[in-house]
């Protein structure tokens, strides 16, 4: 599965948009990012996606709530 940062208007003509996938884990560090990205890819694969576009990262570092969250659009190459 490929992940690329782009806008939805940059979707390839041969790709079908499957929907938005979201994942979130505790922590704000490289390990939490990798764990979150893994969960995001698993959710996308479950939809039949072959790629992710429009990836957005949010890392909240409030004292009581340190989380890493990822949001992306799952696409499938036709």
Domain extents in the chain = 2-77
Q: How confident is the model at residue 10 (pLDDT cuts 50, 70, 90)?
A: low
The model's pLDDT over 34-77, given as tens digits with 9 standing for 90+, comes to 999 999 999 999 999 998 888 899 988 887 789 999 999 999 98
CA gyration radius, the chain: 13
| Predicted local distance difference test score (pLDDT) of residue 2 | 61
Mean local confidence (pLDDT), 4-17: 72
Angle at 48 between CA 44 and CA 49, to 5 degrees: 55
Which among 69, 50, 57 has a CA at the least distance from the CA of 11? 50
Q: How confident is the model at residue 3 (pLDDT cuts 50, 70, 90)?
A: low
Q: In degrees rounded to 5, what are phi and psi of residue 63?
A: -55, -40
Residues 6+ apart with CB under 8 A from 13: none
Give the architecture (CATH level 2) of 2-77.
2-Layer Sandwich (3.30)
Reply yes or no on whether the pLDDT at 78 is more than 90: no
Residue count of the chain, please give it.
Answer: 78
């Amino acid at each position: 599965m490929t992940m690329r940062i782009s806008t939805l208007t940059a979707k390839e003509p041969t790709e079908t948009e499957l929907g938005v996938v979201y994942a979130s884990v505790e922590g704000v560090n490289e390990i939490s990012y990798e764990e979150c990205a893994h969960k995001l890819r698993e959710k996308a694969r479950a939809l039949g996606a072959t790629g992710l576009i429009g990836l957005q990262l949010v890392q909240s570092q409030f004292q009581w709530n340190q989380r890493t969250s990822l949001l992306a659009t799952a696409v499938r190459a036709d």
